[in-house]
Amino acid sequence: MHAVRIGQGWDRHRLVPGRKLVLGGVEIPFDKGLDGHSDADVLIHAIIDAILGAIGSGDIGSHFPDNDPAWKGVSSLDLLQRVWDGARSAGYSLVNLDSTIIAEAPKIGPHRDAMRAALARVLGVEAARISIKAKTAEGCGPEGRGEAVAAEVVLLLSAHSGSG
């Protein structure tokens, strides 16, 4: 007996000079990076919120407060690993994950497979279960003006008997 649980996540970070750009656990060559307390990986933050939403366990800010020095500069892959370890030990597995990155630049396509592989490794699934789409915002809004990058995620978890 098992049930499925849906989760949704969204995040946006400002693009600023003097920071590395890390998306989906992959460092991408670019003249700006995302500002934030951790590495500001906007895609992974949205994934973490989607997992926490699916299992009804708060949000990324309640687990990793941005005023806690323990999380300063931390790799978001490490945060994802912590959250996923918790979900998995509670009996959940990933059915599939679909995401969209909204960024005017840089181009996401050349890095898509590396991101899928990095996420699949942490989530313990084959990369085929992880989708990463990319859009520009046609010049509109903070993403369109190149001031920010945003990400949206939905995912489906399978809850095995004894959980949820």
Q: Which residue is nearest to Mg ion (CB)?
A: 45
Rounded to whole angstroms, the Cα distance separating 106 from 115 reads 14
Question: Closer to Mg ion at the Cβ: 62 or 161?
Answer: 62
Question: Closer to Mg ion at the Cβ: 148 or 159?
Answer: 148
State the nearest-atom distance from the C-beta of 121 to Mg ion, in Å: 21
* Contact call for residue 45 and Mg ion (CB under 5 A): yes
Question: Closer to Mg ion at the Cβ: 153 or 157?
Answer: 153
Question: Residues near 81 by Cβ (< 8 Å), separated by ≥ 6?
Answer: 122
Pairing between β-strand 130-135 and β-strand 26-28 as defined by DSSP bridges:
unpaired
Tell which residue, 12, 96, 8, has the closest CA to residue 51: 8
Tell which residue, 155, 151, 154, has the closest CA to residue 25: 151
Rounded to whole angstroms, the Cα distance separating 51 from 132 reads 16
Window of 8-16, 19-27, 81-89, 141-149 that interacts with Mg ion by CB under 5 A: 8-16
Window of 42-50, 85-93, 104-112, 154-162 that interacts with Mg ion by CB under 5 A: 42-50
* Contact call for residue 116 and Mg ion (CB under 5 A): no
Lookup: tokens for 30? 């670019």
Question: Closer to Mg ion at the Cβ: 44 or 123?
Answer: 44
Strands (DSSP E) contained in 45-126 are: 92-102
- Interface pick for Mg ion out of 7, 9, 11, 116 (rule CB under 5 A): 11
Residues binding Mg ion (CB under 5 A): 11, 45
